[in-house]
Amino acid sequence: MINVLILGGTSEASALASAISECEIPAIFSYAGRVKAPKAQPLPTRVGGFGGVAGLVAFIKQNQITHIVDATHPFASQMSRNVLAAARQTGVPAIALTRPAWASNACDNWQHVASIEEAVRALECPPQRVLLAIGRMHLAAFSSQPQHHYVLRLVDQPTTPPPLAHFTTTVDRGPFTLEGDLALLKNQRIERIVCKNAGGEGAISKLEATRTLGLPVVMIERPTLPPRHEAHSVDEVLVWLKTSYG
């Protein structure tokens, strides 16, 4: 008997769900529930937090989960830590489906920062039009640099406005295109962008667009996680499942 728990919220998690469904491997897909209309998955899907490590351990036991695939976003570090702790406590093997971080080249003008707080400090400068491509969770931190006009790229229209003095929202979800991102940067007269080093293909076009337009980027680097078993492709995860299941 095999029953896989996939922690989702990324395009890689969706690709894995399709592959697992095609292989007819029993699995449950889990979303945190952050967006209004998450992408439908070809697997039984649950939505919402588990209730910390204890809740995740209980879920694993109740559902007789035999394998866990952490395919969350590289910045979802709490969930990834909880997976490691729950795997340790239950003895259920876990793997993380990860993607390499983006790297700059000689044509780029990136300022690397380690956290949202550092990104905010990097904006201590005269007023600019800044694209904040960081999701909705940490927007309030930028209220301490009220001189800027922020263009917020969000998956859903916010139900309560962020506490920023000057902002415009643009509602869209990836994968994005170079053409679309060039148009956004030009139409919004963006002078600098702030983003997370998510890696992957779905959101890389904004960096290609900044390269084309010669715009500076404040790049928030990934949180560090303890060493863990990682796969870099859907196929690698399938091999791991088949090898460890037999």
Residue 199 within binding range of ligand NAP, rule CB under 6 A: no
Q: Is 29 in the site for ligand NAP (CB under 6 A)?
A: no
Touching ligand NAP, residues 83-142 (CB under 6 A): 135
Residue 77 near ligand NAP by CB under 6 A: yes
- Closer to ligand NAP at the Cβ: 56 or 120? 56
175, 201 Cβ separation under 8 angstroms: yes
Nearest to 203 by CA among 149, 142, 153: 153
**Count of residues interacting with ligand NAP (CB under 6 A):** 24
Angle subtended at Cα 179 by Cα 173 and Cα 180, rounded to the nearest 5 degrees:
30
Secondary structure class of 213 (helix, strand, coil): helix
**Binding segment (CB under 6 A) for ligand NAP, from list 71-79, 121-129, 166-174, 184-192:** 71-79
Tell me whether residue 47 or residue 213 sits nearer to ligand NAP (CB atom). 47
Nearest distance in Å: CB 68, ligand NAP? 11
DSSP output for 83-143: HHHHHHHH---EEEE--PPP---TT--EEEESSHHHHHHTT-SS--EEEEES-STTGGGGG
Least distance in Å: CB of 91 to ligand NAP?
A: 19
- The binding site for ligand NAP (CB under 6 A) comprises 7-10, 30-32, 34, 49-52, 55-56, 72-73, 75-79, 82, 135, 196
